[in-house]
Amino acid sequence: MTQNLWKRRQLLGLPLALWGSAGAASAWAQEQQSWPEVKVALVEGFSGAFGNAGEGIYRNFLFASGAINAAGGIVIKGVPHRLVVERFDSQGSVQGALSMLKAVVDKKIRIVAQGNSSAVAGALLDAINKHNARNPAQRLLFLNYSAVETALTNERCSFWHFRFDTHADMRLKALFEVLKGDQNVSKVYLVGQDYSFGRYVVERARQMIPEVRPDIEVVGQVLHPTGQVKDFIPYATQIKASGAQAIVTGNYGNDLSLLVRAVRDVGLDASFYTFYANDLGTPTAMGDAGVGRAMAVIEWHPNVGVELGGKAGEASDAFYLAFRERFSKPNEDFIRLRIHVMLEMLARAVAQAEVVDAQWIAQALEGMHYQNAFHSGVMRAQDHQFQQMLTVMRMEKAGTPGIRFTNEGSAYGFRTVLRLTPDQVEMPSYCQMQRPVS
């Protein structure tokens, strides 16, 4: 039933006329409303400084769950169930997330999803581990779609936690495959936000660069307050004085766009090796300062279809266009394939488990393979880290070869620089997972 969800999910993106009739579509929607529900609690910041990012995540959940329901829902023992996503606003804080987790438990929802902060993810993971140990009849499953701190599937790995994004070390590995071949770079500067993830990226990059390019000198590093710096010119001046030709950073949002613009403003033509240059609002905020300079790494992006060509390219384009048909505003142009993969795999796991139980669903997810026309991966059982393709991309102007779609209705898009298979991205795990005895 659910193994071929990719083909069926495209129904959601089709114009209403192609369903047969508006009446038929309405009747189908009404029928779905009568189905039993499988609920996912989305604990995310929907208000506060990063509320727009939370809303962008929610749109992906709506689209993916809608496609699953349009394909017949999740069939449990012959009965179709509707996948429902319920929002819980953490306001982007650890305390807010822990408070929302209590509300999730009170509402008897057993599946929790979160991603937009590794600090929040770590706190939720600790709380869920304790809850599950104390309440074996009410155990929770934690699905992580964006929190990339490596320890979450290594030293802190948990049977109850599954990560569908690639972790920080995997992303750095992909970025440094490009750096390895850039003979114009002999000096690198490291920039990070001063919190656990930002510090980790700076520290890990300093360790990994000599492994891929022993000739490269790390000429400096800086950690700055997160979301508080309005003027990055002093930092940019320091970077320019160091002689660096490239900057490696885990920064996101304004902390990235303002840094890129400041470096341009001091007259430094440096490349940026980033995680998040393509995030919501960032390409537009960077403007011309990011063109030809800013690189990012992700599992998939809208212009992957240009490189793939053929049926795979057509399927990639169709996926993006279906999403944009439903969410057509420029500020809604934020699509993350991994969220769609995660919910499709969850649907398969619940159908296989035949019950909404965290342990049974977890066991079904372990070792599960994913394949559609343009993407593939497997949930590694050892540490619950999804192994998937990764793409390094560079920001360019519209009309540049490789740019079929631009970001947010702007004059900028991203083209593929390097595409890596799951085997090329995979890294060793140090997880010593404690599994439930029953």
Considering the domain architecture, whether residues 260 and 396 belong to the same structural domain is answered as: yes
Q: For residue 246, what are the β-bridge partners? A: 188, 271
Let me know if residue 115 belongs to a domain: yes
Let me know if residue 233 belongs to a domain: yes
Domain of residue 132, residue span? 35-166+321-387
The pLDDT of residue 141 is 98
The pLDDT of residue 3 is 41
The values of phi and psi at residue 80, to 5°, are -70, 135
Higher-scoring residue by pLDDT: 373, 19:
373
What CATH number is attached to the domain comprising 329? Answer: 3.40.50.2300
Let me know if residue 315 belongs to a domain: no
Considering the domain architecture, whether residues 87 and 218 belong to the same structural domain is answered as: no
Q: For residue 142, what are the β-bridge partners? A: 112, 161
Considering the domain architecture, whether residues 282 and 412 belong to the same structural domain is answered as: yes
Going by the DSSP 8-state scheme, the letter that residue 167 receives in this structure is P
Let me know if residue 8 belongs to a domain: no
Query: What percentage of the chain carries pLDDT values higher than 70?
Result: 93
Considering the domain architecture, whether residues 280 and 184 belong to the same structural domain is answered as: yes
Considering the domain architecture, whether residues 156 and 179 belong to the same structural domain is answered as: no
Whether 17 has a pLDDT exceeding 80, the answer reads: no
Whether 50 has a pLDDT exceeding 80, the answer reads: no
The pLDDT of residue 193 is 95
The bridge status of strand 271-274 relative to strand 246-249 is parallel
The number of folded domains in the chain is 2
Considering the domain architecture, whether residues 48 and 110 belong to the same structural domain is answered as: yes
Let me know if residue 376 belongs to a domain: yes
Q: What is the token pair recorded at 409?
A: 């209705």
d(CA 129, CA 140): 9
* pLDDT tens column, 342-390: 999 999 999 999 999 999 999 999 999 999 999 999 999 999 999 999 9
Beta strands, E only, 227-366: 246-249, 271-274, 294-298
Let me know if residue 252 belongs to a domain: yes
Considering the domain architecture, whether residues 277 and 327 belong to the same structural domain is answered as: no
Considering the domain architecture, whether residues 158 and 95 belong to the same structural domain is answered as: yes
Question: What residue type is assigned to position 73 of the chain?
Answer: G
The pLDDT of residue 13 is 39
Domain boundary among 387, 409, 433: 387
Whether 21 has a pLDDT exceeding 80, the answer reads: no
Q: What is the token pair recorded at 228?
A: 């508080």
d(CA 62, CA 82): 12
Let me know if residue 430 belongs to a domain: no
* pLDDT tens column, 282-323: 999 899 999 999 999 999 999 999 999 999 999 999 999 999
For the chain, the C-alpha Rg in angstroms (whole number) is 22
* pLDDT tens column, 84-135: 999 999 999 999 999 999 999 999 999 999 998 899 999 999 999 999 999 9
Q: Taking the CB of residue 41, how many other CB atoms lie within 10 A of it? A: 24
Question: What strands lie across the sheet with 412-420, from one edge to the other?
Answer: 217-224, 187-193, 246-249, 271-274, 294-298, 390-397, 412-420
Considering the domain architecture, whether residues 234 and 115 belong to the same structural domain is answered as: no
The pLDDT of residue 28 is 58
Considering the domain architecture, whether residues 203 and 257 belong to the same structural domain is answered as: yes
Residue 43: name the closest of 178, 179, 140 by CA: 140
Whether 11 has a pLDDT exceeding 70, the answer reads: no
Let me know if residue 29 belongs to a domain: no
* pLDDT tens column, 152-203: 999 999 999 999 999 999 999 999 999 999 999 999 999 999 988 999 999 9
Q: Give residue 340's pLDDT band: very low, low, confident or very high (50, 70, 90).
A: very high
Considering the domain architecture, whether residues 112 and 230 belong to the same structural domain is answered as: no
Considering the domain architecture, whether residues 272 and 159 belong to the same structural domain is answered as: no
Q: Give residue 276's pLDDT band: very low, low, confident or very high (50, 70, 90).
A: very high
pTM of the model: 0.91
